[in-house]
Structure 1
């Protein structure tokens, strides 16, 4: 299983806009390769996974959304607090239909409003249950991938024991939170962080890595998403940043390609080359910050045509090649 042998729960988070749902889907595909069965779940009710896998909107039931190389299967669901509460009331209190009757009275909204931590227990509890579910002597799923909230909220989301300690110090809720916490703090869990090579996402990633370590929650990999290749050689990049690219060479290259080589076109290309060189320099600076975090780093190239099932397979293959699986 590559870098994460023994991990049952893969939590994927990242600053908004970094592509954490895409990475969660690609990781699920990679983990499922070779005949394994993997469940990927979202908790934000955005239907991001449904769009990613190009399937109808997901519900609380687990549905197969994709195959993986070697006969693997990816299942997905959208974990909803309301449905999780119904399941919880039936599991621990045997309320059955009575639990849904309570919902009609606004019980779920009321409970999760006065005790916001309860909602996180319900959401993480479903993932926890999926990691333990068995058929006979084997697990139903070889791994669970959780498309978690963004980095700004992920620590509170995962720290469910603290969230409910003031609500219930004993009883089923407390026991459930304690069991979830034991899983999240164990080597069976890894929290992977998705970032772009930009100042704010990288800084937020570094902050969350420090917070997770302080909370004794296992930090997984840092996935650098949407990486752009450098189009110029190192010497050319240095010249472009200084505005010293040879105009005659650029003009000759345009002419040999059968393109206009006017001074305006050459000047435009020179300015674009300078902007590109500046971006490459900034990305390399941010990459050094990522490397200093001391975690495995995977790079996923930018997909200029967007993400479709074919691109998802390619991203999964890239993760596998880099040691994620």
Structure 2
């Protein structure tokens, strides 16, 4: 049987990153943007959930509804790296821009905002809200020579809603079915879907090696495929170091580690092995081995999802800008960025 070919992500212009809450999808999206910028590219990192997560990760001021340069990419082959810009998209600002573009409501649109009409519209009709958010992402991807004053991006990375809502968020045509059958909003939804269902888009899913996130990832893949949306890679985040052999892990799980040898090693290291120390270490080893066995089971399930898979390590010191560059290097080395 022929070996599977490595996926070619170079044709993808829009990388959508989703995952169950707590899996680190925002971190992966930021690292992916930095990795893509290592090719000398102009990259836009977008967020749509209103949490200002990008600003916190990159240690910059809260982002307005405007594109801001926030970082440079990794260096690659001695070439100058590209640049990462960021955009915080909120539905109210997107609606004001939409009204100005399609209905020429400049000051009038801002007046509506003061009266709370925009908040009402985007709350009462969440399908419209998603069209506005995705429409702004579409505009950033589709820029061409006619957008003379705007930056043209080689890639756009979207930190998207979590897996439980991702298909609903992206499948804006279905969401609008009972709200708008004709008109500019429907036309914009149709146009956005041409991009979302094309080979220029990939929806990447972030998980950790735990039962619920892996199952939610599998469910999201099935829903995305049923909706005709292009599933990309699965990124397994926060992977623990694999620095113990299978034999040692099995011995730890079964209680067969050598008590005397461990005690002797502690003495040699200048540590007094008091009554409870070795027993505590043996229990820790057993717990770790059990955890590793559960992770290995989940890794097998991820491997059965039929998607390209990439792994990122758990970073004990937490996530700061240096950690993002480290993860970006991992994604680049593995071929996703």
Shorter chain as denominator, the TM-score bin is over 0.9
Return 108-117 or 214-223, whichever deviates more: 108-117
Instruction: Give, in whole Å, the separation in 1 of the partners of 2:64 and 2:197.
Output: 28
1:241 matched residue in structure 2: 253
Instruction: Give, in whole Å, the separation in 1 of the partners of 2:146 and 2:115.
Output: 39
- Per the TM alignment, residue 136 of structure 1 is displaced from its structure 2 partner at its CA by 6.4
Instruction: Give, in whole Å, the separation in 1 of the partners of 2:223 and 2:272.
Output: 54
Is 1:112 equivalent to 2:115 in the alignment? no
2:47 matched residue in structure 1: 42
- Specify the SS of the correspondent of 2:8: helix
Match of 1:21 among 26, 31, 56: 26
1:173 matched residue in structure 2: 185
1:58 matched residue in structure 2: 63
Instruction: Give, in whole Å, the separation in 2 of the partners of 1:3 and 1:314.
Output: 22
- Per the TM alignment, residue 197 of structure 1 is displaced from its structure 2 partner at its CA by 0.3
Output aligned runs, 1:1-325, within 5 Å.
3-69=8-74, 70-135=80-145, 140-325=152-337
Instruction: Give, in whole Å, the separation in 1 of the partners of 2:105 and 2:272.
Output: 76
Computed over aligned residues only, the root mean square deviation of the Cα atoms, in angstroms, reads 1.5
- Specify the SS of the correspondent of 1:134: coil
- Specify the SS of the correspondent of 2:276: helix
Q: 1:136 to 1:122 in 2, by over 3 A?
A: closer
Check the 8 A contact 2:167/2:224 in 1, yes or no. yes
- Per the TM alignment, residue 198 of structure 1 is displaced from its structure 2 partner at its CA by 0.5
Q: 1:174 to 1:219 in 2, by over 3 A?
A: same
Instruction: Give, in whole Å, the separation in 1 of the partners of 2:242 and 2:190.
Output: 48
Instruction: Give, in whole Å, the separation in 1 of the partners of 2:145 and 2:70.
Output: 21
Return 104-113 or 198-207, whichever deviates more: 104-113
Deviations along 1:29-75, whole A, 9 cap, x unmatched? Answer: 01111211100011011011100111100111000010112321000
- Per the TM alignment, residue 3 of structure 1 is displaced from its structure 2 partner at its CA by 3.3
Instruction: Give, in whole Å, the separation in 1 of the partners of 2:322 and 2:65.
Output: 26
Check the 8 A contact 2:34/2:328 in 1, yes or no. yes
- Per the TM alignment, residue 262 of structure 1 is displaced from its structure 2 partner at its CA by 2.7
- Specify the SS of the correspondent of 1:58: coil
- Per the TM alignment, residue 113 of structure 1 is displaced from its structure 2 partner at its CA by 2.5
- Per the TM alignment, residue 260 of structure 1 is displaced from its structure 2 partner at its CA by 1.8
Return 106-115 or 175-184, whichever deviates more: 106-115
- Specify the SS of the correspondent of 1:5: helix
- Per the TM alignment, residue 107 of structure 1 is displaced from its structure 2 partner at its CA by 1.5
Instruction: Give, in whole Å, the separation in 1 of the partners of 2:145 and 2:194.
Output: 23
Q: 1:2 to 1:73 in 2, by over 3 A?
A: farther
Deviations along 1:207-263, whole A, 9 cap, x unmatched? Answer: 101111111100011111110013421111001000111101111211221112234
TM-score by length of 2: 0.94
Aligned length: 325
TM-score by length of 1: 0.97
Instruction: Give, in whole Å, the separation in 1 of the partners of 2:107 and 2:177.
Output: 28
